[in-house]
Chain A
Amino acid sequence: AQSVTQPDIHITVSEGASLELRCNYSYGATPYLFWYVQSPGQGLQLLLKYFSGDTLVQGIKGFEAEFKRSQSSFNLRKPSVHWSDAAEYFCAVGAASGGYNKLIFGAGTRLAVHP
């Protein structure tokens, strides 16, 4: 069965420090992969997506992610974190089901940013 694992429930970084959020997936074929961000009381905003091609994808707000097929990973990175990046981050895999796609989400990683 398809699944997404985000090993880190909570991460704290200092403002200006680099960030890497981990994501591992389980899926038989090449998946569609996504990172979403959710601020308190808000819906999910799409940060970036991977469908095929270049394994390093750029997203909004200075985020990037790298798809590594051999490790079944799609880790999210940012070189310098801003206080406004504090939020919850969700990795998702787009899995084919009955001829259509559905998104399966990880449990999320809550990011706190210290000034």
Chain B
Amino acid sequence: EAGVVQSPRYKIIEKKQPVAFWCNPISGHNTLYWYRQNLGQGPELLIRYENEEAVDDSQLPKDRFSAERLKGVDSTLKIQPAELGDSAVYLCASSPGPEAFFGQGTRLTVV
């Protein structure tokens, strides 16, 4: 069974530029999460989807971050414009129930 696939693995951009991350969850998992992990910290939830509906986006900085999950499968997380403080690892996870399965993450560096 294929795991959660994220791309790209690494991204370096200049501040004020846009960036997008893509996630393909495990087949059949209705729940999809985006987490942000700052250096030396645990992951923090940005947004959670149940199928195509965002059911928890309270931690998503909506002035610059947006996300979508078309057809309840793949998801895209976008930042526009990026700031230096957005440098982090962005993790996507999917879930059939209480536990979550994570992708390898996208390491974003904003310079």
Contact = CB atoms under 8 A, between A and B. Distances in A.
Interface of A: 4, 32, 34, 36, 41-46, 49, 51, 90, 92, 94, 97-108
27 contacts: A43-B4, A43-B91, A43-B103, A43-B104, A44-B43, A44-B91, A46-B99, A49-B98, A97-B56, A98-B55, A98-B56, A99-B55, A100-B31, A100-B48, A100-B50, A100-B55, A101-B97, A102-B33, A102-B48, A103-B33, A103-B43, A105-B42, A107-B40, A107-B41, A108-B40, A108-B41, A108-B42
Interface residues of B, number: 27
Interface in B55-88: 55-56
A73 to B, nearest CB: 17
Interface string B24-38: 000000010100000
B31 A43 contact: no
The main secondary structure of chain A at its interface with chain B is: strand
Nearest to B9: A41
B103 A103 contact: no
Interface of B: 4, 6, 31, 33, 40-45, 48, 50, 55-56, 91, 93, 95, 97-105, 107
B41 to A, nearest CB: 6
A97 B31 CA distance: 14
Nearest to A51: B98
A88 B55 CA distance: 29
Contacts of B42: 4, 90, 92, 105-108
Contacts of A108: 40-42
Contacts of B91: 43-44
Given A90-B42, A100-B55, A46 B48 contact: no
A94 B93 CA distance: 14
A34 B99 contact: yes
B99 to A, nearest CB: 5
B45 A102 contact: yes
Q: Which 10 A-B pairs have the closest CB atoms?
A: A105-B42, A43-B102, A44-B102, A32-B98, A43-B104, A94-B98, A107-B42, A43-B105, A101-B98, A105-B43
A76 B17 CA distance: 42
